[in-house]
Amino acid sequence: MIIYDLNCDAGHHFEGWFGRPADYVEQKRKGILSCPICSSTNVKKIPTASHVKTQLTVSASEDEATKPSGQQVVSTHAMQALHRYIDKHFADVGAQFPEEARKIHYGEAEERNICGVASNEEAKELHEEGIEVHRLPPKPVEKEKLN
Ligand SMILES: [Zn+2]
């Protein structure tokens, strides 16, 4: 497989992929080699072509590629902020979480924000009882606490 940089008479620059150099000649002779942009069959190989792929890689994935790639960093910061918020505003009831959540839900305990530990099973049961449970991602390790 060889790649030629090609130009049509309208100045469009594109790549032609050929199994072997003779294919280019043959396709051009038969007039089946045409510009993908304007369909002109007046196509020339650019003599100084490098095979560095710079053009005609536009595809659906380009949008993806231009999205910010710092998502992981952002989410770490967001997680730290979230956990700080929870530390401050939520009472940590640990393994009592399912029980406490039920008490609050059924009005047997003071209504407050709690956090704690629940198994998948327990979280599912709470959810089925109409109790709002949010799973927290693991707490990120803060750099200053590393030693
Ligand atoms: Zn063209």
- Tens of pLDDT along 64-110? 444 454 444 556 667 677 777 778 878 888 888 889 888 988 999 88
pLDDT of residue 24: 93
Q: What percent of the chain has pLDDT over 70?
A: 71
Cα 9 to ligand 1 centre (Å): 7
Residue 94 burial by CB count (10 A; 0-12/13-18/19+): exposed, middle or buried? Answer: exposed
pTM above 0.85, yes or no: no
**Which among 36, 30, 4 is positioned nearest to 17, based on CA atoms?**
4
Between CA 119 and CA 116 the distance in angstroms is 10
Beta strands in 9-122 (DSSP E): 13-18, 43-45, 91-94, 114-116
Cα 129 to ligand 1 centre (Å): 64
Residue 30 burial by CB count (10 A; 0-12/13-18/19+): exposed, middle or buried? Answer: exposed
Is residue 39 helix, strand or coil? coil
Cα 86 to ligand 1 centre (Å): 60
The DSSP line for 9-27 is TT--EEEEEESSHHHHHHH
45 versus 85: the higher-pLDDT residue is 45
Cα 6 to ligand 1 centre (Å): 10
What would the two tokens of residue 63 be?
């949008």
